[in-house]
Structure 1
């Protein structure tokens, strides 16, 4: 699996309009907790179905996009943070040590 970088506000609309599951990982490149959460998530991400789109946001470089994500999906901004989007709605959000690829997989697989 591979991250798709979010670098443009238009990508938020694309994710919102997409059918199926998408996951957004909001990462602070200046935070060791965020780095640890990302590393832990990537170690277990094979549990996530392969047809799930994985998006990565460097929220230090793209603060405006991070703010738009929070507004669009009606979640409180946190860092690090994952949002699982299904058919345009956020069905799971987690931050810090609560970020878990296994939990994401459980929501998707049911």
Structure 2
């Protein structure tokens, strides 16, 4: 179990306590996030807490991304909030993926990536 947990995590719920996640837990927040993206870049990280690959990508993102990038980071737990995930896909016209990173500026998607490609997104270039 030790090597399995070091690769996939213990249930996928771990996160760095100092990583500046803002929880996305209501559909109403989407309008706020879209408006907020007019004054600052916003990113939504969609994560399946039961998926080992999603946990690995999330952990890698937290370890490799600059928490001080100037991008406001929102975290969406897909299992607890599937209707919100569907609303994200509809509002921002992206195909649902898990894990997925969606970067917004001026209410528009300026970058979108899923799975391993998430770690190729350099947030600072959008700030």
Same-fold call, TM > 0.5? yes
Tell me how far 1:92 sits from its aligned partner. 0.5
Could you tell me how far apart the structure 2 residues matched to 1:14 and 1:47 are? Answer: 21
Matching residue of 2:12: none
* Alignment correspondent of 1:24: 44
**Partner Cα distance (1:103, 1:55) in 2:** 15
Displacement of 1:23 in angstroms is 0.5
Asked if 1:98 is matched to 2:117, the reply is yes
Of structures 1 and 2, the one with the larger relative CO (CA 8 A, separation 6+) is 1
Q: Which structure has the bigger radius of gyration?
A: 2
Unaligned runs of 5+ in 2: 1-18
- Structure 1: which 5+ runs fail to align? none
Paired residue for 1:108?
Answer: 126
Q: In the comparison of the two structures, how many residue pairs are matched?
A: 107
**2:109 is paired with a residue of what secondary structure?**
strand
Contact 1:4 1:54 in 2 (8 A): yes
Encode CA deviations 1:70-101: one digit per residue, 9 max, x unaligned. Answer: 0011000000000000011111100011112x
Residue 14 in structure 1 maps to residue 35 in structure 2: no
Kindly provide the CA deviation profile for residues 20-77 of structure 1, in whole angstroms up to 9, marking residues without a partner as x.
Answer: 200100000010000000000000122762x311000001100000000000110000
SS at match of 1:91: strand
Q: SS where residue 65 of structure 2 aligns? A: helix
CA distance in 1, matches of 2:68, 2:113: 16
The TM-score with structure 2 as length reference comes to 0.78
User: Structure 1 stretches (4+) deviating beyond 6 angstroms?
Assistant: none
- TM-score normalised over the length of structure 1: 0.90
